[in-house]
Chain A
Amino acid sequence: MSVIPSDNIRRFLPWRIERRGRGDDGYLAVAFVLAALVAMPFAALVWLAASGSSSNWSHLATTILPEASRVTLQLMLGVAVLTGTFGVVTAWLVASFDFPGRRLFSWALVLPLAVPTYIAAYCFVEFLHFAGPVQSAIRAVFGFQSSRDYWFPDVRSLWGAILILSSVLYPYVYLTVRMVFLMQGRKAADVARTLGASQATVFLKVLFPLARPAIAIGVSLALMESVNDIGAVEFLGVRTLTFAVYSTWLNRGDLYGATQIALLMLAVIVLLVMVERFARRKQRFTLGRADRPQPGSEKLSGGRAFLASAACALPILLGFAIPLLVLGDFALRRLDQLGDPQLWRALFHTVTLAGTTGLVTVLVGFMLAYGVRLTGSKRLLLMTRLAVLGYAVPGTVLAIGILIPLAGLDNWVDARMRAGFDVSTGLLLTGSGIAIVYAGFVRFMAMGHGSLESGFTKLSPHLDMAARTLGRSPGATLFEVILPLMRPALLTAFLLVFVEASKELSATILLRPFDFETLATFVYAQTSRSAFEDGAVAALLIVLVGILPVAILNRSILAETARG
């Protein structure tokens, strides 16, 4: 069996202590600079939170804070359970069984990732509201006239928010868990099956424990996105802490207090992540060698096959089919927008920004994760752990944290240039594409780094050790051994960040240059004047831009499978 608890090896080989080699210190220095770059916005926010005393706390503590905290925790709990269920069950089904539609499901299950949360919220409300197709059908069948004649669940509620967010966020769990099931899980499961364990026992005793780190990574991404979300929860009337952040800042003119709440939320997230990591501190699994992913082939038939297909179809229906249907309906009446060159410019901006953000994030994420692996530096590890938290901060607040140091730097450079050479350089970074890319990689480091870190944990330390023992320099080890093996993880990281970045709204809108639209800002401009329908074509394009990487993502995993 190829599953090896690597901590045991580490006990015998002083891997963490005596492996600084030539070039490591230089590498470490670069990694620290990068980590600092990612950490800078947080530092700016801490500075902001500390620099003003907020009169708001007594107000908040006695009014909405308890309620908002409760709502936020309930939302997190609900999203954790539902994304976990959707993600793990579907990953288990497509990775272990053969049933009608499995090939289709295995990639279609990732599609909801392409739908931004706020767009999903609008579409669900549109689909389920009084004049929508569902309620209209109910009225037609039963002959009701007014909404007071019958009861219909209100999708604009906490449970609605949990359902909607989970429907588009579960792919994080699905992607990470499926990979584990296909790689480490397959062989372990086969061994257990040979030894007479039932599929249920295999799932509970072998696969689930194996997948726990992956579930934790996937669920925490979903949770961070739920916590930082404002568009969907505001529209659904769910008052989370993020809602309190914005009302404190914008209505009470208290940016300091708002930042303080945001940092408090961050602290809670950090705590949760630490608790989870602590709970599985003794577990660590790596592969003895680089296994090819391998789907199971147990055939399901009859009722079981139907149930499996239905279980996979449900989340796709919720997270992709409904939004697509609603958007498509609106878009069909607005096909003339396709002739608008602005729309195509927005598309170009979206793709280039997302591509650049993806590349930069993967590069930086890789350097950080590899730096930790190479040197075992505890301090770098801590900084990388901090670096991935950007995703838990409400987007606009994080953007403020980027704006302040960048503009500060620009003005400092300008002042120096004026004093020294009598030239004004003006604002070089603020209001440029660079600022947006910077915001993107700080925000989405979690996606990039998460995939890379789990990719690294799958590579046995034997590999590096062997290469180094055989006289390879760290650089040669990297290029000849690590990079080829990490290719799937790098691709996954890039595509995840690309999809996320193509949906990015709050930082883009605050940091962008003049007359610069992306698809997301275009949709937002329409929705913010209560005309979401007019943004449907652009919203559909966002989804399409996301589908392509999702398809590539899946094809590359399947290709690996076929080769293995």
Chain B
Amino acid sequence: MKRSRSARTALPIGLSLLVSATLAAPVAQAADVNIYTSRQPELIQPVLDAFTEETGLSTATIFIDKGLEERVKAEGANSPADLIMTVDIGRLDAAKQAGVVQPVESAVLAENIPEQFRDGEKEWFALTARGRVVYASKDRFDADSITYEELADPKWKGRLCTRSGQHQYNIALIAAYIAHHGEDAARQWVTGLRDNLARRPEGGDRDQAKAIFAGECDIAIGNTYYVGKMATNDKEPEQKEWANAIKVIMPTFDNGLTHVNISGVSLAKNAPNADNAVKLMEFLSSDEAQKIYAELNYEYPVEPGIETSDLVKSFGELKPDSLPLDEIAEHRTKASEIVDEVNYDGGPQS
């Protein structure tokens, strides 16, 4: 009895030690280009596969959300990261400010990516754009246009839904508002939005469409590509109904242009495979990759002349705001403070 018991304990311990030994070895050997990304693997893998097929260079990725810059910084000179791919201008700027990226001189990138969508100091390059737009109820919202400013109009009281004001997409929108109208006007605007809320901000962008479908609110703020994802969700046909309950309105600032955010790429400061990494950056800005992005993710390609998917076309034309993106990044801290100051996430006050 006793012996069999110790045998039973010894076996798992022995096995685990074996496993620990495996863990101690470098689990995955780095590839020709190593990518730290805050974009979900599903969204970039098809493009990376196309790159490997064309060049024969392999890629390896780590999806890191919070703390990506901190990891690269801590790893310092020995960091295996070649490229840093992130979503949101705030994150691209954060990597730049943290000093973990380096400028890239590339005629290809300069030619493919319009000036507005790349950093003046060449430390980041946008690859895709997405509009921050209005989802409106097909049944309960008649107008076909609205401005961002009008969203705070008291006539929409109790009819607006959004996700948390502290979400990076909303922070970027508020930061753009600050850039356009100044801090005080932005504070008033966010207060107005808060008073129009139908309920406390919660969930993600898809949940706002769902809330419109459920009749909880009539207008919501969300990113363009989610509509595409919902409308084509064969696994959860219920989401098609949500998408069907809403129409996309391209809201504009009073300059007639729509706020866009970006996903982008930077070359890591200590990139061990810088040459290959730049090749991949150039590939990501090419026609081929931009087309994959547009079709697969329902995003807007940054390269002019690449068509968006038919579904995205049905949203109407997107005229991106000409506001420099780094100016938006600059106002992020203030935007985040305003959200707290007016207690936006506390929801409607009465």
Contact = CB atoms under 8 A, between A and B. Distances in A.
A450 B111 CA distance: 61
B76 interface: yes
B79 to A, nearest CB: 8
Contact of B74 (A237, A403, A526): A403
Interface in B70-105: 70-71, 74-80, 90, 94, 97
B23 A434 contact: yes
Contacts of A156: 200, 202-203
A557 to B, nearest CB: 16
Contact of B16 (A64, A251, A359, A528): A359
A157 B166 CA distance: 17
B40 interface: yes
B336 A63 contact: no
Contact of A516 (B28, B34, B76, B78): B28
Interface string A113-144: 00000000000010001110000000000000
B333 A253 contact: yes
B337 A333 contact: no
Interface stretch (A78-86, A96-104, A407-415): A407-415
A533 B210 CA distance: 15
A130 B62 contact: no
A91 interface: no
A470 to B, nearest CB: 21
B94 A408 contact: no
A540 interface: no
B62 A251 contact: no
A531 B233 CA distance: 10
Interface stretch (B49-57, B319-327, B339-347): B339-347
Interface in A306-363: 330, 333-334, 352-353, 355-356, 359
A207 interface: no
A503 interface: no
B78 to A, nearest CB: 5
A356 B20 contact: yes
A251 B206 contact: no
User: Chain A interface residue count: which class?
Assistant: 35 or more
A356 B30 CA distance: 24
Given A356-B19, A433-B23, A414 B78 contact: yes
Given A67-B343, A403-B71, A514-B28, A432 B40 contact: no
A59 interface: yes
A507 to B, nearest CB: 10
Contacts of B229: 530-531
A512 interface: yes
A497 interface: no
Nearest to A413: B78
Interface residues of B, number: 72
> Interface SS of chain B: helix, strand, loop or mixed?
helix
B202 A251 contact: no
B336 A247 contact: yes
Interface in A39-77: 59-60, 62-64, 67
A533 B236 contact: yes
Given A131-B210, A251-B336, A515-B62, A525 B97 contact: no
A539 interface: no
A430 interface: yes
B74 A408 contact: yes
A511 B27 CA distance: 12
A359 B13 contact: yes
Given A253-B94, A529-B42, A411 B337 contact: no
Contacts of B26: 432, 513
Nearest to A144: B215
A164 to B, nearest CB: 14
A443 interface: no
B214 interface: yes
A67 B339 CA distance: 14
B164 interface: yes
A177 to B, nearest CB: 27
Contact of A407 (B74, B206, B215): B74
A237 B164 contact: yes
A251 B90 contact: yes
Contacts of B22: 352, 433
A247 B65 CA distance: 14
Contacts of A506: 66
A236 interface: yes
Contact of A514 (B34, B235, B346): B34
Nearest to A522: B41
Given A146-B215, A516-B62, A129 B210 contact: yes
B235 A525 contact: no
Contact of B63 (A246, A247, A249, A525): A525
A251 to B, nearest CB: 4
Q: Which of B31, B70, B210, B345 has the most CB atoms of chain A within a 10 A radius of its CB?
A: B70
A251 B65 CA distance: 13
B194 to A, nearest CB: 13
A268 B97 CA distance: 33
A246 B236 CA distance: 31
Q: Which of B23, B64, B79, B229 has the most CB atoms of chain A within a 10 A radius of its CB?
A: B23
B23 A251 contact: no
A431 B74 CA distance: 11
B66 A426 contact: no
Contacts of A529: 40, 42-43
Given A251-B90, A400-B70, A430-B74, A63 B343 contact: yes
Given A146-B215, A237-B345, A515-B60, A407 B202 contact: no
Shortest 9 CB-CB distances between A and B: which pairs?
A433-B23, A146-B215, A237-B202, A130-B214, A251-B336, A407-B74, A514-B60, A63-B340, A513-B27
12 contacts: A63-B343, A129-B214, A130-B216, A251-B171, A253-B94, A253-B332, A253-B333, A408-B74, A432-B23, A516-B27, A524-B65, A530-B229
